[in-house]
Amino acid sequence: MITEIGEPIKVGVVFGANCIGGKKIKPVWFIWKERQYRIKEVTYTWTNKEGSSSVHYFSVTDGQNLYEIAYNTETMVWMLMAVEMEG
Amino acid sequence: MDSRTIMHVDMNAFFASVEQQSKPSLRDKPVAVIGAQQRTVITTASYEARAYGVKVGMTVLEAKKLCPDIIFVAGNNKKYTDTCTRLVRLYADYTPLVEVYSVDEAFLDITGSLYLFCEPEDIAVQIKRRIRRDFGLTCSIGVGPNKLLAKLAGSMQKPDGFTIIHPGAVSEILEKLPVSELCGIGSRLERHLEAMGVKTCGELGRFPVKELENKFGIVGKRLHQMGLGVDESPVVPVEDTPDAKSVGHSMTLEKNVSNGEDMERYILQLSEMVGRRLRRGHYSGRTIALTLRYSDFHTFTRRCTIKEYINDGFDIYLAALDILRMIRLKYAVRLLGVSISNLVTNYCQIPLFKKDRDRVAIVQAMDEINDRYGEFSITQARLLDRYQHKGVIAPAWRPAGIRKVNY
CATH of the domain at B30: 3.30.70.270
Least confident of A64-73, B8-17, B78-87, B255-264: B255-264
Nearest chain B residue (CA) to A63: B24
Show which of B146, B165, B184 is a domain's final residue. Answer: B165
B215 shares a domain with B252: no
CA distance B272 to B44: 30
Nearest-CA neighbor of B379 among B366, B368, B391?
B366
Q: How much is the pLDDT for B259?
A: 87
Whether B34 has a pLDDT exceeding 60, the answer reads yes
B289 shares a domain with B368: yes
B110 phi and psi, to 5 degrees?
Answer: -105, 15
Average pLDDT over residues B285-290: 97
Q: Which one from B99, B105, B203, B272 is the annotated catalytic residue?
A: B105
| Structural domain range at position B118 | 1-165
pLDDT band of A87, cuts 50, 70, 90: low
- Angle between helix B354-373 and helix B260-280 axes, rounded to 10 deg: 80
Is residue B54 included in any domain, yes or no?
Answer: yes
Secondary-structure percent of chain B, ordered helix, strand, coil, rounded to 5: 40, 20, 35
Q: Which of A20, A43, A57 sits opposite B23 (nearest CB)?
A: A43
B329 shares a domain with B210: no
Q: Answer whether B372 sits within 8 Å of A49, measured CB to CB.
A: no
Number of domains in chain B: 3
pLDDT tens figures, B247-258: 999 999 888 999
Nearest-CA neighbor of B48 among B7, B84, B2, B12?
B12
Show which of B118, B143, B165 is a domain's final residue. Answer: B165
Interface mutation vs chain B, best among A23, A44, A61, A64, most B CBs within 10 Å: A44
Whether B39 has a pLDDT exceeding 80, the answer reads no
Q: In what order do the strands lie in the sheet with B333-345?
A: B246-257, B333-345, B283-294, B299-310
B42 shares a domain with B174: no
First CA to last CA distance, chain A: 8
Average pLDDT over residues B297-321: 95
Q: Which residues of B146-155 are buried (b: 16+ CB within 10 A; e: fewer)?
A: bbbbbbbbbb
CA distance A28 to B298: 53
Q: Answer whether B134 sits within 8 Å of A20, measured CB to CB.
A: yes
Sign of the C-alpha dihedral computed for residues B375, B381, B382 and B384 taken in this order: positive
Nearest-CA neighbor of B14 among B89, B75, B91?
B75
pLDDT band of B2, cuts 50, 70, 90: low
**CATH code of B298's domain:** 3.30.1490.100
Is residue B254 included in any domain, yes or no?
Answer: yes
**CATH code of B197's domain:** 1.10.150.20
Q: Residues 19-38, chain A: which have Cβ within 8 Å of B?
A: 20-22
B124 shares a domain with B29: yes
B348 shares a domain with B278: yes
- How many Cβ atoms from other residues are within 10 Å of residue B113's Cβ? 20
CA distance A81 to A56: 12
First CA to last CA distance, chain B: 38
Q: Which of A43, A47, A59 sits opposite B82 (nearest CB)?
A: A47
Is residue B236 included in any domain, yes or no?
Answer: no
B306 shares a domain with B174: no
Q: Which helix (H) or strand (E) element contains residue B206?
A: helix B201-206
B300 shares a domain with B254: yes
Residues of B in contact with A23 (CB under 8 A): none
Q: Any chain B CB within 8 A of the CB of A51? A: yes
